[in-house]
Structure 1
Amino acid sequence: MNTSTNLTFKVPERAEVSTNNQAIFDNLQKGLGFVPNLYAYFGKNETALADYLTLQNRKSTLKATEREVINLVTSQINGCRYCQSAHTALGKMNGFTDNQILEIRKGNATFDEKLDALAKFTVSVVENRGKATPQAVETFFKAGYTEVNLIDVIIVVGDKIISNYIHNLTQIDIDFPLVAEL
């Protein structure tokens, strides 16, 4: 429940979404073993779920671990418990330890110089609404990232902001193991 408005936002059941979205629900069920509530909520809209999944699954110059760094940092800054929890689970699937994930959520990755530059760059981008500090940009490029990578980072940040804002507005139930607040 969103306590600021006293409205309850309901996650739709499969039968309550369009035929196209039902097919996507079936694919998610097959691939993940369940339909995450946040994805299901996108299913209320005829095109949003397919559009969002296309954005999320686009080809990228960034590795899965790099995308998880961006997802964790962005979700932490935006205060999205759903995405913090989901991306903690995904981060573990991508080889990060619990301690590394906590460090990433705080905007650092001292265990890996390149990921540390990425985490700090992401913090600067998100906190400054795209106007990253010159130092964060310089450190990002010195770590070996390119302008092509920069574009992909911004696309991942944008993707994550969409899901962060949807959850922050709706406060739908978190169906991943809930992570602790920092």
Structure 2
Amino acid sequence: MVGLTADQVRRARLGGAEDTKVNAILEFTSHLIEKRGHVSDDDLAALRSVGVSDGEIAEIVANASLNLFTNYVNHVAQTEIDFPLAEQLSAGEKSDSCGCHDDKCSVA
């Protein structure tokens, strides 16, 4: 709905993009979630090296946190999903974009 192709959506769900800056942001976000916020100076330097500002870094952290919070609330509330589910990825392509580490998660 935002003009991305199915392949671009799939690649983003797996944490990658063709654009260097976007790819660095997606990789950082994956590290941020995997490391539960304990990112390294090297992680931040990688972002800055492609032109990501400190303000943008704060926005990335805020958006990741908001999405985790929303996903956790929806898991606890067992919210019924009222929009089309994302296409399931194969076992070798598992995404953990919601941060819940749950094999039964509808986001994965």
Q: Say yes or no: does 1:101 pair with 2:9.
A: yes
Aligned partner letter, 2:29: T
What's the Cα RMSD here? 1.4
Shift of 1:133: 3.6
1:181–1:135 distance in 2 versus 1, CA, 3 Å: farther
Ranked by relative contact order (alpha carbons within 8 Å, sequence separation 6 or more), the top structure is 1
TM-score if structure 1 supplies the norm length? 0.46
The one of 86, 89, 94 aligned to 1:179 = 86
- Equivalent residue of 2:36, what SS? coil
CA distance in 2, matches of 1:166, 1:151: 22
**Which one has a larger percent helix, Structure 1 or Structure 2?**
1
Unaligned 5+ residue runs, structure 2? Answer: 90-108
Aligned length: 89
Counterpart in the other structure of 1:121: 28
Distance 2:10 2:4 in 1: 10
Match of residue 49, structure 2, among 111, 120, 142: 142
User: Which aligned runs of 4 or more in structure 1 are off by greater than 6 angstroms?
Assistant: none
Say whether the 8 Å CA contact 1:124–1:133 is kept in structure 2: no
Sequence identity of aligned pairs in percent?
28
Q: TM-score, normalised by structure 2?
A: 0.74
